[in-house]
Structure 1
Amino acid sequence: MFNGFKEFLLRGNVVDLAVAVVIGAAFNTVVERVVDSLFNPIIGMFFRADSLDQALTVALPGGGTLAFGAIIGALINFLIVAAVVYFVFVMPMNRLRPKAEEAPAGPSQEELLAEIRDLLAAQQNRGAAPPETTAHKH
C-alpha cells in the first residue's frame, strides 16, 4: 500500500506539478508587487483612487457597488502574467529547443496506389511481373 503511494509521489509529473505550483505562487507575489508599485500609482493619478479596486465604482440603489476597476485590474494582472510567461519562459525555450529535422518525403499516395495495383495484378496473373510504372520502389 505504501509502496504504491511512494511511487505515485515520486513520479516525475507529480514532482514537476508541485514545483510549478510553488514557482507560480512566488511569481504571483512578484506580479502583485508590480501592480501595486507601478500600475496602481499611475492609475491613481488618473482616477484619484489608491488602486483599481477603488476606481470606477458605481453605487447600486440596494446598497451594493459595481467595481469595474477591480475587473480592469484583474485583466491587467492576467496580461502581465501572460506576457512574462511568454517572453521569459516560452520564447527562450522555443529558441533553445533544437529544430526538428524534416523527415525525407516518402512516396506519394499515387505512387503507393500504383504499387498496390501492380502487386494485385501480379497476384491475379500468378507470378507474372507487374507492368512497368514510375512508382517509387523501396
Structure 2
Amino acid sequence: MLKGFKDFILRGNVIDLAVAVVIGGAFTAIVNSVVASIITPLVSLFFKADATGKFGPQLTSIYGDKVTFPLGELLSAIISFLAVALVVYFVFVLPMNTFKAHVEARKGTRAEAPEDEPAAATESELLVEIRDLLAKNARA
C-alpha cells in the first residue's frame, strides 16, 4: 500500500499538477491586474467613469475627465507572480528534481542496468536472409 503511494507521488504528475495550480492562481492575478490597469482605463477614455484615486499616468478622456491607468497594481501583480514562482521552484520543484535524480542514481548502483538487446530484424531483413539461404542451398 505504501509502495503504491510512493510510486504515485514520485511519478511526477502530482508535483507538476500542484505547480501548475499555484502558478495558474498567480497568473490569474496578473490577468486581472492587466484588465484593471489597462483595459478598463482605455474604456474609460471613451466612457465617463468615476475617479478611482489610484496611482498611475493620467490622460484626459474625450469628456475632459482625468483617467488614471493604475500601473502600480499591475507592477505589484507581476512582482507577486514572480515571487510565487520563485518560491514554488525553490521549495517544491528543485528539491523534487534533486530527490528524483538521487533515487534514479541509487537504482542504477544497486543492480546493473540490463544490457540493450539487439533490435529485432524487420520483415524485409528476414526475407533477404531467407532468400540468401535458399540461394546458398540451391548451389550446394
| TM-score normalised by the chain length of structure 1 | 0.36
Higher helix share: 2
What TM-score do you get using the length of structure 2 for normalisation?
Answer: 0.36
Bigger relative contact order, structure 1 or 2, given CA contacts below 8 A and separation 6+?
2
